[in-house]
Each structure stands twice: as structure tokens, then as C-alpha cells.
Amino acid sequence: MAVASAELAPPSRTLLLLEGRAIPELAAFVTAYPLLASAPRGDGHPVLVLPGLVTSDRATVPLRTYLAGQGYAAYGWELGRNYGLLPGIERRMVERIEELAETHGSKVSLVGWSLGGIYARQLAKMLPDKVRRVITLGSPFKGTPKATNAWRLYEFTSGHKVDDRDHHMGGLISDPPPVPTTAIYSRTDGICAWQCCVETEGPLTENIEVRGSHCGLGHNPSVAYAVADRLAQAEGSHDPFERSGWRSIFYPQPWRAA
């Protein structure tokens, strides 16, 4: 899917105001929890969940709890609030992945929400022998970095200019990682322009569209099911996400017009 990055603007004020949907989305997650248990179960491999900008592991508790119940060893990043690439953060994330890989004797899957997804992609490029799979949730790794409603906040908290992001860890952010990668996004995202969150599809990459807010992606029932489904694939395999039957209600077909 081609994206004219020069023409992209942040989501509208209306969509930004609609981010309040995150609260009823959490209620929907709790209500749907018994049904979400029907997702494919995991094989016990470690999954590291990385939080979004200015959030912490508390924001990823619902998703990590669900993944643990599905048979994964789900972990938070344990680095406090995510204020960007402050001194030492990159090194500590690398050490966290190496620690989990050694503890479990297996590769680690990375699930990253928003800025956490950008970290996940870049870490997979740095540690391809330690990372099994990458899943991003509303992560703006394509297009202009100012096509979000949070870029000023990022510059304030991190001390970095968003235009310099390709000079940080892992190289060019828009390049896909060398491992199976799934980008989950919503066209009604009120924080990031959805076009910036879409992966270039290839043998190891895919996109899954869901309906919902940006701030609710970590506990959106459709997201949780899709994450569990993707993590359940065997190591090294990458089968397309199945949208037939009841799934077609919640997951739009990828070829519909932009």
C-alpha cells in the first residue's frame, strides 16, 4: 500500500476527541474475555510487551494477563515510564531480551504498542537471532514522524527531535525487521495517522486492520485475539491471518480502498 508521506497530517481533532473510546473498549475486553480464550494457544515461549509513549507496564497488564492465560510467558519491559530513548534505555532493552532468551532457552516475541512497536522493530533488527516475531500496535514507523498528535510530547520527554529518529537504534525505521512481522492498526486512530502504521507487505510481513482507538489498542478485544493468533504460529513460519467466517465482521479485508 503506497503512502504519500509528504501529504499526511495528524488525525483530526474529532478523532483525537474520540480517543475516549478507550474506556468502553476496556469494558468490552473484560466482557469478551471468555470468548477470547478460543484463540489458538501458545507454546510457552517468552513474549515481551513494550508500552507506548509516557505509559508504563501498568498499561499493558490486560494484554499480558490475557497472553499468560493463553500459554505464553508474558513480560513487561520493567523500565518505568516510556519517555523515549533516554540514556541507557536501548542497552537495557537489549539486555532484557537477552535475559529472557537465556532464561527460556528460546527466542523472544516482541509486542509493541505505539512507540513501543518502533522499539520492537528496531530491536529485532539488532537481535535477529534472539527475536522470534514482532507485532506492532498503532506504531508510526512509516511516513513523516510529525503525522501524529504526540510528536511534540515525544520531543519534550525524550530530548530528541522526531526528524532524527532514523539516527537512533537499529537503522532506518521504515525498513521491516528480518523476522515475521505483523502491523495492527486502526483507520480511526486519533493519535497516529493510520497510513504511517501500515507495513510494506512481503513474505515475512502483513497488516491487520481493527476498529477502535489508539489508546485502546492494548485492550481492544479484536487486537488481543489477533495478537494471540499470530504468536501461536510455529517459530520461523508466517501464514497469512485468516479473515473468513466470523472474523470478517471484526477484521476488514486488506485490499479495500484506502
pLDDT at 257 over 70: no
Strands 181-186 and 131-137: parallel
Pick the residue with more confidence: 165 or 8?
Answer: 8
Q: Over the stretch 113-132, which tens digit does the pLDDT of each residue have?
A: 999 999 999 999 999 999 99
Q: Is residue 15 part of a domain?
A: yes
Predicted confidence (pLDDT) per residue in 53-64, tens digit: 999 999 999 999
pLDDT at residue number 256: 64
The percent of residues in the chain predicted with pLDDT above 90, rounded, is 86
3-state helix, strand, coil in the chain (%, to 5): 40, 15, 45
Mean pLDDT within 205-209: 96
Which phi and psi (to 5°) does residue 222 adopt? -65, -40
Q: Give the model's confidence band at 3: pLDDT under 50 very low, under 70 low, under 90 confident, else very high.
A: very low
Mean local confidence (pLDDT), 97-106: 98
Residue 250 lies in a domain: no
Half-sphere exposure of 220 (CA within 13 A, CB side): 26
Question: If you average pLDDT over residues 24-52, what whole number do you get?
Answer: 96
Measured between alpha carbons, how far is 200 from 181 in angstroms, rounded to an integer?
Answer: 10
Average pLDDT score over residue span 198-216: 95
Q: Evaluate whether residue 258 is within a structural domain.
A: no
160 band by pLDDT with thresholds 50, 70 and 90: confident
Q: Is 135 among the domain residues?
A: yes
pTM: 0.94
More confident residue, 252 or 168: 252
Domain-located, residue 248? no
Count: domains in the chain: 1
CB 102 within 8 A of CB 156: no
Residue 246 lies in a domain: no
Residue 44 lies in a domain: yes
Confidence check: pLDDT of 167 > 60: yes
Would residue 207 count as lying in a domain?
Answer: yes
Q: Where residue 134 sits, what CATH number does that domain have? A: 3.40.50.1820
Range of the domain at 18: 9-232
Whether residue 243 is predicted with pLDDT greater than 60 in this model: the reply is: yes
